[in-house]
Amino acid sequence: MAIVNPFKAVRATRDKVGLVSSKSYEIYATKKLKAKLKYNPYTFLHVINPGYKYNQETLGEQRFKLVHNRYLEFKEDGVFKQDEKPAFYLYKKTTPESTFCGIIAATSVEDYNNDIIKKHEGTLHLRELLFENYLKNTGFNAEPVLLTYPDNTTIAKIIEKHLLKRPEYEFTTTDKNTHCIWLIDKQQEIEIIQNAFKEISALYIADGHHRSSSSCLLARRLQEENPDHTGLEAYNFFMSYLIPESHLKVYEFNRFVKDLNGLTVDEFLIELDAYFRIENKGQSLYVPKEKHHFSMYLNGNYYSLYLRKTGYEFTDVLSQLDTEILYKTVLKPILGIQDIRTDTRISYAPKKNNSLELKEKVDNGEFQVAFGLVPINIEEIKQIADANLQMPPKSTYIEPKLRSALTIYEF
């Protein structure tokens, strides 16, 4: 039984939302970030980068407190206003390739702790603590966790009804994506949505494992500090964007390795032969189409790699993931990459737009070998989460990617 609640969002006025909302600030290259800050006084990036006002970089708690101050200034100047009554926020993002539609809501820390909200990735404790400290000092969260749920007819009917109305927000960004938000604030519809989610046994984190885990750490801290804790306080929940499984898009991350661990090309191919049937495709672009099939670009040639089932043992759902197979058969034993989180010899890139990236990055000398995979599907993600297992890093590139400050959740 999943708890999903409406909340009173802080959000930009309708005339400024297209200027305020931004991509996650980590995405911006330094030059582009500076241009955004220079030419757009309303961008939320001013809140997240408070040192720009003083022409200096700020770090740690000092930065977090300045973020809080910039946020207050946006509220004082009327750029941000808080809704007077709780609502669900129906958000539709339309890209040139896809349409995503779901509900922004407050989801339960208790559900996270009780494994009703399920995880498929591990988290780094230092990063959890950093973001918990950020939340504690700023008092808000502007980026929802991306959750997915099984397609539900009841929820879909309410969504379809509101899509026929004029949106509260409608704007298009320079990347040709259109963003629309509707408010669902009638009590009857709110209760129908809440009851529908109560019938759903589990929600799955698609993106935002560190944000959700940090929110739970903050809730634990604030519970201990509050002698009158009731469980209804805002800190007992975190902002999420819930979309049906059919709307989720999952892409693969390709792997790039800088060297062959001291092996020649021929020696490397012989080592691979123990695990794979190998076929040299020459200059013909090869993209794998099935699970346990891989593409490889090496020394000017594409190769197909088909896993030899007799040389590899499937022991659980994790062992069947292509990212795990590649690690267990190639990256660790042959190329000597023990820790794929920290080893600087390996790099990753999502195969979303560039099918020639394997070739390009190897031919230009940046890497010596590259591997392509097929995407992991939503059922595999759920199986891993249900088994309380963790995927290797960079196993999935999941869309939609969400903008900051469309809705803001205060603690």
Listed residue (206, 215, 203, 196) closest to 409, CA to CA? 215
Are 340 and 331 contacting, i.e. CB atoms less than 8 angstroms apart? yes
Which of 219, 247, 232 minimizes the C-alpha distance to 100? 247
Q: Is residue 217's pLDDT more than 80?
A: yes
Among residues 137, 155, 354, the alpha carbon closest in space to that of 247 is found at 155
CATH of domain 253-374: 3.30.1760
Angle at the Cα of 292 (from 290 to 295), degrees rounded to 5? 75
Query: Which of 315, 347, 313 has the alpha carbon at shortest distance from 329?
Result: 313
Q: In this predicted model, what pLDDT tens digit does every residue of 384-398 receive, in sequence order?
A: 999 999 999 899 999
Does the reported pTM lie above 0.85? yes
Arithmetic mean of pLDDT over the chain: 96
The per-residue pLDDT for range 273-283, each reduced to its tens digit, is 999 999 999 99
Give the model's confidence band at 122: pLDDT under 50 very low, under 70 low, under 90 confident, else very high.
confident
Tokens, residue 376? 């992991």
CB neighbours of 311 closer than 8 A, spacing ≥ 6? 274, 275, 329
Q: Minimum mean pLDDT among 110-124, 144-158, 189-203, 351-365: which range?
A: 351-365
Please give the full DSSP string across 51-113, using - where no structure is assigned. GGGGTS---HHHHHHHHHHHHHHHHHTTSEEE-SS-BEEEEEEE-SS-EEEEEEEEEEHHHHH
Q: What's the rounded Cα separation, in Å, for the pair 135 and 118? A: 22
HEC-encoded secondary structure of 67-82: HHHHHHHHHHCCCEEE
Q: What is the DSSP string of 235-278?
A: GGEEEEEEEEGGG-EEEPEEEEES--TT--HHHHHHHHTTTEEE
Place of tokens 């963003």: 179
Buried (b) or exposed (e) across 241-274, using 16+ Cβ within 10 A?
bbbbbebbbbebbbbbbbebbeeeeeebbebbee
Model pLDDT, residue 294: 98
The CA-atom distances, in angstroms, between 295 and each of 165, 335, 365 are 47, 16, 19
What are residue 105's phi and psi, to 5 degrees? -150, 175
pLDDT at 327 over 80: yes
CATH 3.30.1760 residue ranges of the chain are 253-374
Distance CA 152, CA 247 (A): 12
- Residue 84 vs residue 122, higher pLDDT: 84
User: Residue 304 carries which side chain, given as an amino acid letter?
Assistant: S
Instruction: Name the strand (E) or helix (H) holding 190.
Output: helix 187-198
**What residue type is assigned to position 315 of the chain?**
T
- As a whole number of Å, the CA-based R_g of the chain is 23
Three-state secondary structure call for residue 25: helix
> Across the strands, what pairs with 81?
11
Amino acid at position 72, single letter: L
- Predicted pLDDT of residue 25: 83
78, pLDDT greater than 90? yes
SS3 state at 228: coil
In this prediction, residue 10 carries a pLDDT of 98
pLDDT at 60 (0 to 100): 86
**pLDDT mean over 300-320:** 94
Residue 353 above 70 pLDDT?
A: no
Residue type, 343: D
- Report pLDDT for 372: 97
Residue 26: pLDDT band with limits 50, 70, 90: confident
State the average pLDDT over residues 323-331.
97
